[in-house]
Structure 1
């Protein structure tokens, strides 16, 4: 099998896990907003986080990386973050300013896509920092969700959740700044070439 055809694969275990994660997004929103089945919703987030880790492990271990996987894996991560902040904002678990700060970073990075396309680039290389930020945010929101309940775990979840949320948001913006630098370098190189 040639390297090009391996890159074009669709039916791989990591891609299947990413598709399943995508299907979990509306299920999560429904659980949080309609029956308010918080335990099940947190379970969906936990499974999504585990399968996010697992699909990367499998892709690297069994050489199942693909072009599609590099698109749907981060898309699933972002959809979970957006769905979670939307649901938690509606349930008044997180403040609006946190949503604005996270979405502001997304708008900043998205504003560079037309520039990239103009110079013939399709996407930016994902930074480890961006992955670390997403990891922190994916842990923050379930913890903040748990903190909104009463119980012995609520205060511990609140402290840990806000630590992950603030650290993750800071890393998210730092990764955004690195993307700005990367775009500038690519555009400068394209203009010289």
Structure 2
């Protein structure tokens, strides 16, 4: 599950959320959270590009696997619904900042990505006045997050001093540029939804 949430086809059965804590998906989400400080240490302090790249690959694989396993094993839980997007959000903030510190990604791009998320948070109080906590997810937002989650690791992999770095570098920047463009466009979509909510949904009592 990516940080933009998930969408379902009309008529699809919603997963039943349980109060279970010890599940395979929750363990994978927790692993991703634990790997955050490890990633920061390896990249910022040890300059270990190869190991940092490996951690991002493992994190990306676990991000895909936890949602898949939650459905296959019928282990959707309320805790998992919080852990998974929280881990995604933390990665989307920590990874670009660390890449900026190492001069791998320009700070203006980092500012665009983080600024977009902060401006989206500004919509939460507005939605709450209408009795809402979230907006319908857009496929552009999901595609943007997907592209960025792959773009950052491959841009980092481009720093590896061998032929793999030469291959990863253009792939990473292709994902990153495309993902950033969609990230900004999804911001416009979400705020247009906010405008429609303000116009057509009465204030909650």
Q: What TM bracket, shorter-length normalisation?
A: 0.7 to 0.9
The CA distance in 2 between the partners of 1:138 and 1:25, in whole Å, is 14
The CA distance in 2 between the partners of 1:103 and 1:111, in whole Å, is 13
Q: Are 1:102 and 2:113 an aligned pair?
A: yes
Aligned residue in 2 for 1:164: 175
Q: How many matched pairs?
A: 191
The CA distance in 2 between the partners of 1:64 and 1:93, in whole Å, is 38
Q: Is the 8 A contact 1:77 1:134 kept in 2?
A: no
The CA distance in 1 between the partners of 2:67 and 2:15, in whole Å, is 20
Aligned residue in 2 for 1:175: 186
Instruction: Tell me the TM-score normalised to structure 2 length.
Output: 0.83
The CA distance in 2 between the partners of 1:26 and 1:185, in whole Å, is 40
Aligned residue in 2 for 1:111: 122
Range 44-53 or range 4-13, more displaced:
4-13
| CA RMSD, 1 decimal | 2.3
Match of 1:15 among 1, 5, 26: 26
Q: Is the 8 A contact 2:70 2:76 kept in 1?
A: yes
Unaligned 5+ segments in structure 1 are: none
Unaligned 5+ segments in structure 2 are: 1-13
Provide the secondary structure at the position in 2 that maps to 1:183: helix
Instruction: Tell me the TM-score normalised to structure 1 length.
Output: 0.87
Describe how 1:1-193 pairs up with structure 2 within 5 A: 6-191=17-202
Q: Deviations over 1:53-92 (max 9, x none)?
A: 0011111223322333232212211211211111110111
Range 64-73 or range 134-143, more displaced:
64-73
Higher helix share: 1
